[in-house]
Amino acid sequence: MTNIQYFKEDIKYTHWDNPGLEGFIYHDIFEPFFFNTVKKTVKSKLAEQETKTYLTHQTSFNIDNKYVKIVSHAQNGREQCVIHDLTFIKEWYSQTNDSIKEWSDNKLKESISPVFYKCIKTVENLDPFVKDKDSWIFYRLHLNYLAHDEYLALHLDAGMHVFKPIPGCIDHRAVRMYSMTFYLYDHVENMGGELWSPNGFVFKPKENSALLINGHQAMHGVTVNMNTEPRLAFTLRIAHKDDLFLPGSKDKFLYDVTQNTI
């Protein structure tokens, strides 16, 4: 049975008045047999797919009747393998608050591994989502790969382009969104790989545990991986449907999304 603990860190340092980390820690989130299946699936995907992309590499655009293609860019220093990002699908732009849950659920069922789909459905039936699970959209899932001697610098999660403007807020900190990371191995003391914040919060992962945080609001990072083996995990991005930018028509966007080739 999954053990769930709520936490909220004491704020000692803020950046642009952002709040501190807050969320839930989950232990034994999956049944042992299914957890082993998840672990094998993640390792298999990482072995067969490119990790140096955010789905933006190889993207093409038509600007002023000129064909432009993004081959790669140096800013993608972080390695990850994107399993799905629904915002990269053309039909996303035609959804509304009323249609997005059914559309996203059907799209996930038909396009991702049943293993990852079961992970999403497991989370959907846990706090804080279970009380209003038809309102939460699991719009992105990516596998994290932190190689030996690499770290993840302090950052905020996600991008504001997915969300509608919030009055009085210049970025996306006011939206209802979570980042949930699942851990496949126990933390090894003095070998790095801990999630941390400037306020002193440190999370040392346990096998079959997960951490849900307000990562778009609170600065956080991951310490240097001193282990010769890569640190493997995967992360869900989860947003409340009422805070997403869902105009219901491609014509209502500032730019022409019909040229999207993904």
Q: Where are the chain's structural domains?
A: 3-259
Mean pLDDT of 235-257: 85
3-state SS of the chain is: CCEEEEEECCCCCCCCCCCCCEEEEEECCCCHHHHHHHHHHHHHHHHHCCCECCCCCCEEEEECCEEEEECCCCCCCCEEEEEEEHHHCHHHHHCCCCCHHHHHHHHHHHHCCHHHHHHHHHHHCCCCCHHHHHHEEEEEEEEEEECCCCCEEEECCCCHHHECCCCCCCCCCCCCEEEEEEECCCCCCCCCCCEECCCCCEECCCCCEEEEECCCCCCEEECCCCCCCCEEEEEEEEEEHHHECCCCCHHHCCCCHHHCCC
Ranking 11-20, 149-158, 176-185 by mean pLDDT, the lowest is 11-20
Q: Tell me how far the alpha carbon of residue 1 is from its chain's centroid.
A: 24
CA distance 26 to 2: 7
- One-letter identity of residue 99: S
Residue range 161-182, pLDDT digits in tens: 899 988 888 889 999 999 999 9
Residue range 34-64, pLDDT digits in tens: 999 999 999 999 888 777 655 665 566 677 7
Specify the pLDDT at position 75: 53
Determine how many CB atoms are found less than 10 A away from the CB of residue 254: 5
Output the average pLDDT for the chain.
89
Specify the pLDDT at position 110: 96
Specify the pLDDT at position 261: 46
Domain 3-259 bears CATH identifier 2.60.120.620 = yes
pTM: 0.89
With a cut of 60, say whether residue 113 has pLDDT above it: yes
With a cut of 60, say whether residue 140 has pLDDT above it: yes
Ranking 74-88, 106-120, 147-161, 233-247 by mean pLDDT, the lowest is 74-88
Specify the pLDDT at position 47: 84
Read off the pLDDT band of 258 (50, 70, 90): low
Residue range 15-34, pLDDT digits in tens: 778 899 999 999 999 999 99
